[in-house]
Amino acid sequence: MKNNIITMIAVIALAMLTAACGTLKKGAGSLPTTPDGQSTSSQTSLNPLDAVLATLGDWHTLQTGGNISLKGGSNFSSAIQVRMVRDDAIFISIRPMLGIEVGKLLITADSVYAVDKVHKRYIAEKVSLLTAGIPVTVSDVQDIFLGRPFIIGKGTLNKSLAPQVATSSQGNNTVVSPTEGYKGYNYTFTFDNSKRIVTLNIVPKGSANAAYQVNYGDVRNTKAGNIAHSIKVNASVDKKKLDFTLTYKGIDWNENVNIDRGIPNGYSRMNASSLFSIFSN
Report domain extents, the chain.
Answer: 5-273
Residue-level pLDDT at 175: 93
Q: What is the pTM of this model?
A: 0.81
Burial class (CB in 10 A: 0-12, 13-18, 19+), 109: exposed
pLDDT of residue 23: 34
Looking from the CA of 281 toward its CB, the CA atoms found within 13 Å total 7
> Checking DSSP bridges between strand 268-269 and strand 121-126, what pairing results, if any?
parallel
Note the helical H segments in the chain.
Answer: 5-21, 49-53, 128-131, 138-144
The CA distance from 32 to 30, in Å, is: 6
| Rounded Cα gap, residues 156 and 120, in angstroms | 37
Angstrom distances, CA of residue 84 to CA of 30, 63, 107, 141: 33, 7, 10, 11
Contact 143, 157 (CB under 8 A): no
Tell me which fold the domain 5-273 belongs to.
Answer: outer membrane lipoprotein receptor (LolB), chain A (2.50.20)
Amino acid at 86: R
Q: Output the tens digit of pLDDT for each of the chain's 281 residues.
A: 344 555 556 556 656 655 555 533 332 333 333 333 333 333 333 368 999 999 999 999 999 999 988 776 667 788 999 999 999 999 999 898 888 888 888 989 888 888 888 888 888 888 776 665 667 788 988 998 999 999 988 999 999 999 999 998 888 999 999 888 766 677 889 999 999 999 998 776 666 665 667 899 999 999 999 999 999 987 665 566 777 889 999 899 999 999 988 888 899 888 766 555 544 44
Amino acid at 222: T
**In 3D, which of 280, 270, 281 has the Cα closest to residue 112?**
270
SS3 state at 148: coil
What CA–CA distance (Å, rounded) separates 116 from 123?
9
Q: How many of the other CB atoms lie within 10 Å of CB of 41?
A: 10
d(CA 270, CA 143): 30
